[in-house]
Structure 1
Amino acid sequence: MLLQKKTLTRALEGDEKILHDVEELRYIRGLSKRPNVQKWLVEKIEELSAQLPEAVPEQRIPSPTVKTEKSSNSTGLPTVKVTNYGWDESDKFVKVYITLQGVHNANPSSIQHSFSNNGYDIAVSGHCGKNYVMTMKGLRDEIVPESSQIKQKTDMLMVMMKKKTEGLKWEQLTKIEYDEKQKR
């Protein structure tokens, strides 16, 4: 009986170490940028998690999974509102260039976007330990949301908005800027 208790205690201590390793690997995964590194970390986390017995009562092994999920979950990260951009236009499109270091390495599924007739919302989750949001409302003229898109470029997101009125020169990106210029 005593031998079984010592063996169980050693096993629990080993499981606790594995849990702490898994917790730290998840934390590092949340900080990592490179897809290959993230893939390797996920594989290692799964490998270590497979070593843990599932039948061990929860009160015997302190489980850090709740804390770990928060640290790797993008909702617990600080949010940065991006307001700097450049823009250009052609007869058919208005292009907005948003500089964001390393965004070309971001998983495309971490980049969410939506277009409306007069603007867009973009959210980049968990990039370099932060969430980024970019919002543009009140565009100079209407766009075609279904034909607008975002492209990942080196250190940049390119927002391509299809003009509703092709050939119209915008001169200003937003209606407010355009109206102010007209008053002068």
Structure 2
Amino acid sequence: MSESKLKELRSDIDELTELSKLAKRKKVQDILSLEIRKLETDWINIKEKEKSVTPMEADPVPTTSVPVKIKRYQIKLNGYGWDQSDKYVKIFVTLKNAHTIPKEQVYCTLTDRSMELHVENLENKDYLLVINKLLEPINIEESHWKQKTDMIVVFLAKSRPNITWSHVIEIEKKFEDQRNNRFKADDSDKKDPQDSVMDLMRKMYETGDDEMKRMIAKTMYESQHKKKTDLVDL
């Protein structure tokens, strides 16, 4: 069951990521980015639960006898999951084989309201995740990060412990507040999360260019077709 859910979430994340690349309007890009992060958080939470039930040993770090110089390029990351405790906001970044590189190749640049995660020379690629305008200030000295199997976890220490963050960044909260005000009559607790994604795509279709409309129409058709197929299977 969880494996099927993971595949569904990953498919939704990949599809929304493709739509984000096509989006030209800043507001549309921000909305998609917010949805991607929510789905990434769901995916990571399920993955972490699986690991707690069946813990796995990390693969040994591969060694190379002769280093070869190969030109690397940088990949900017957008998706991440997050969680929090009384003391920390935890940022989860999934990167395959992230646990295999030396610790000095993974580091963060922090300010009281921003973070940059750098992962250098992971399979000849550099990765960068930038998060600006955090919802609350952080304590730089007490913040840290860890490498786990196929994942980097950044522990952002709250400057005000025991304060619950509703979102990671300010703009996410603003979008959420605007959406709640606009759709406050909706029974959001009973609404299917898939329907929310479809609503977003309909709005994007109305404002997008021809290429985006073609992509969204295809996605909406396939999603509706899948729902009908699921009902037939039942």
Secondary structure of the equivalent of 1:176?
helix
Deviations 1:75-101 (A, max 9, x none): x31211111110001111100000000
Q: CA deviation at 1:122?
A: 1.5
Secondary structure of the equivalent of 2:119?
strand
Structure 2 counterpart of 1:37: 63
Which structure has the larger Rg over C-alpha atoms? Answer: 1
Higher RCO, 1 or 2 (CA under 8 Å, sep at least 6)?
A: 1
| 1:96 alignment partner, one of 91, 104, 123 | 91
Deviations 1:122-165 (A, max 9, x none): 11111111111111111110000111011000000000000011
1:143 is aligned to 2:126: no
Aligned 8 A contact 2:62 2:100 in 1: no
Structure 1 counterpart of 2:40: none
Secondary structure of the equivalent of 2:176?
helix
The alignment's TM-score, normalised by the length of structure 1, stands at 0.61
Structure 1 counterpart of 2:149: 154
Secondary structure of the equivalent of 1:84?
coil
The alignment's TM-score, normalised by the length of structure 2, stands at 0.48
Aligned 8 A contact 1:35 1:107 in 2: no
Moved over 6 A (4+): none
Equivalent positions of 1:109-124 (< 5 A) are 109-124=104-119
> In the alignment, residue 160 of structure 1 is paired with which amino acid?
F
User: Which sections of structure 1, spanning at least 5 residues, go unmatched?
Assistant: 1-33, 43-67
Q: Name the structure where helix makes up a greater proportion of residues.
A: 2
1:171 is aligned to 2:171: no
Q: CA deviation at 1:181?
A: 2.5
Q: 1:178 to 1:129 in 2, by over 3 A?
A: same
Secondary structure of the equivalent of 2:164?
coil
Secondary structure of the equivalent of 2:63?
helix
Q: CA deviation at 1:41?
A: 2.4
> In the alignment, residue 63 of structure 2 is paired with which amino acid?
V
* RMSD of aligned alpha carbons: 1.7
> In the alignment, residue 118 of structure 2 is paired with which amino acid?
A
Cα separation, 1, equivalents of 2:90 and 2:165: 12
Equivalent positions of 1:3-22 (< 5 A) are none
Aligned 8 A contact 1:121 1:135 in 2: yes
Cα separation, 1, equivalents of 2:83 and 2:148: 16
Paired residues, number: 120
Q: 1:98 to 1:36 in 2, by over 3 A?
A: closer
Q: CA deviation at 1:167?
A: 1.1
User: Which sections of structure 2, spanning at least 5 residues, go unmatched?
Assistant: 1-59, 182-234
